[in-house]
Amino acid sequence: MPEGDVLRRTADRFERALGGRVLVRSDLRWPTAATVDLVGRTVLGTRSYGKHLLTRFDDGRTLHTHLRMEGYWRIARTGSPEAAARSPQVRAVLATAEWTAVGYHLGMLDVVRTRDEPTVIGHLGPDLLAETVDLDEALRRWAARGSTPVAEVLLDQTVTAGIGTIYAAESLFAQRLWPWTPADELADPRQLLAVARSQLQRAVAEGRPPGHVHGRLRRPCHRCGTPIAVGQARRPPMERPIFYCPRCQAAPTVPPDGS
């Protein structure tokens, strides 16, 4: 699933291609928005919030999209074959005279009044890629999760927005924390969230996430050479894989979901 860094880079691309420009094409292939026409509207700007994208227009409306597991946006020059957007996987097309944004496999799409954006993102915790992050609010929400495993709290978008399986695993590895440590036993959750924020910011700048543990099953740990293992956070059907080093992130017992 695309995480906060991907959405921030997508928002930046939207800004460069569409920001301040008038739409000449609007095609929202979504049951609840199929009749919405944005042609003639000026794009005021696009921002990301966690894993959500908000594109605002001069008529007081916002296009809200979420990529879910497989979604992505592509920018193509208007008039090119890619901009034709004929694929059945296309869910949205926004075009100016110069550039066309095509959304594939989008998992969520709404058009709301800009002042009503809280109805679609208001339940989320602080965005770790915001210029200023209210970590005190994040820690209040963290504390409310009690003894929930720390990996699951990191994945909980109502605690902080933007972390997925990559940054959950990589931030825990950076702090040498066993992913199933009860959240209320963590000595310094503020430091862990700061590490995750730093990793997200670096990935936005560099275009790639850390690569120490995530997706490296059975490959040697970059620190100690121990084969990387994988366990499970959350219960089915919401389970997520969490990669970790059994030595650097030693546990008092073997996690019950395997390694």
Query: What is the predicted pLDDT for the residue at 253?
Result: 63
Query: What is the predicted pLDDT for the residue at 254?
Result: 52
Is the Cα torsion angle 153, 155, 160, 166 positive or negative in sign?
positive
206 is catalytic: no
Q: In whole angstroms, give the CA distance from residue 17 to residue 43.
A: 10
Query: What is the predicted pLDDT for the residue at 257?
Result: 56
pTM: 0.92
Query: What is the predicted pLDDT for the residue at 1?
Result: 74
Select which of 3, 117, 152, 170 is catalytic.
Answer: 3
H or E element, residue 156? none
189 is catalytic: no
Select which of 41, 47, 51, 197 is catalytic.
Answer: 51
**Chain CA centroid to CA 109, Å:** 15
Query: What is the predicted pLDDT for the residue at 196?
Result: 98
236 is catalytic: no
Select which of 9, 29, 74, 240 is catalytic.
Answer: 240
CB-based contacts of 25, cutoff 8 Å, min separation 6: 39, 78, 93, 94, 95, 100
Q: In whole angstroms, give the CA distance from residue 164 to residue 153.
A: 11
The rounded average pLDDT for each run of 10 residues, N- to C-terminus, in the chain (259 residues) is 94 97 98 96 97 98 95 97 97 98 97 97 97 96 97 97 97 98 96 98 95 97 97 89 97 58
2 is catalytic: yes
Select which of 2, 149, 209, 246 is catalytic.
Answer: 2
The answer to whether 1 touches 51, Cβ cutoff 8 Å, is yes
